[in-house]
Amino acid sequence: MKKKKRSNESMNTPVVGINIGEEKGVATYLAQEGDVRDKFELEMNSVGYQNFASRIPKNTRIAFEASGLAYVVNDTLKQLGYNNISGAHS
């Protein structure tokens, strides 16, 4: 699999880290400066993903750890319009 090249421009955008859980996870949204803008529980279902989409802008970088749900999270976020996703399986 080819790795995506990251531009320096993408490093100057907000980022959200997701700690994936089987039923619930935690999303932490960081400003460009590294300050926490928002931290919330993320239900790993359609309601939780819609809540995520209402709180996190589409141009935000997203990162999460490797887990059994990484493929599902990656695919769901792409379907919601997020493009800058870094996960162990993306």
Q: Which stretches of the chain are DSSP H helices?
A: 46-55, 70-79
Query: Of the candidates 72, 59, 60, 86, which has an alpha carbon nearest to the alpha carbon of residue 25?
Result: 72
User: Where are the domains positioned within the chain?
Assistant: 13-86
Fold assignment, 13-86: Nucleotidyltransferase; domain 5 (3.30.420)
Burial of 58 (C-beta count, 10 Å sphere; 0-12/13-18/19+): exposed
Question: What's the pLDDT at 89?
Answer: 47
Tens-binned pLDDT, residue by residue, of the chain (90 aa):
455 555 555 567 899 999 999 999 999 999 988 899 999 999 999 999 999 999 999 999 999 988 888 989 999 999 999 999 997 544
